[in-house]
Chain A
Amino acid sequence: KQEVTQIPAALSVPEGENLVLNCSFTDSAIYNLQWFRQDPGKGLTSLLLIQSSQREQTSGRLNASLDKSSGRSTLYIAASQPGDSATYLCAVRNAGNMLTFGGGTRLMVKP
Chain B
Amino acid sequence: DTAVSQTPKYLVTQMGNDKSIKCEQNLGHDTMYWYKQDSKKFLKIMFSYNNKELIINETVPNRFSPKSPDKAHLNLHINSLELGDSAVYFCASSHFGTSGETQYFGPGTRLLVL
* Interface SS of A by simple majority: strand
Inter-subunit contact B100/A101 (CB<8 Å): no
User: Could you say which of B12-20, B43-51, B67-75, B78-86 contacts chain A?
Assistant: B43-51
Tell me which residues across on chain A come within 8 A of B4, comparing CB atoms.
43
Instruction: State whether B107 touches A101 (Cβ < 8 A).
Output: no
- The answer to whether A44 and B102 have CB atoms under 8 Å apart is no
Question: CB distance A93 to B100 under 8 Å?
Answer: yes
Tell me if B106 counts as interface (CB < 8 A to partner A): yes
- Smallest CB-CB separation from A36: which chain B residue? B105
Interface pair B104/A46, CB less than 8 Å apart = yes
Q: How many residues of B contact A (CB 8 A)?
A: 28
Q: How large is the interface on A (under 10, 10 to 19, 20 to 34, 35 or more residues)?
A: 20 to 34
Q: Which residues of A contact B108 (CB under 8 A)?
A: 42-43
Please determine whether B43 and A34 come into contact, CB atoms closer than 8 angstroms: no
Interface residue? A22 (CB, 8 A): no
CA distance A44 to B35 in the complex (A): 11
Q: Which residues of A contact B40 (CB under 8 A)?
A: 103
B10 CB, nearest partner CB in chain A, Å: 11
Q: Which residues of A contact B107 (CB under 8 A)?
A: 42-43
Which A residues have a C-beta under 8 Å from some C-beta of B? Answer: 31-32, 34, 36, 42-46, 49, 51-52, 87, 89, 91, 93, 96-101, 103-104
Q: A44-B90, A103-B42 are in contact. List 7 more A-B contacts (CB 8 A).
A: A32-B100, A44-B43, A46-B104, A91-B43, A97-B94, A99-B45, A101-B44
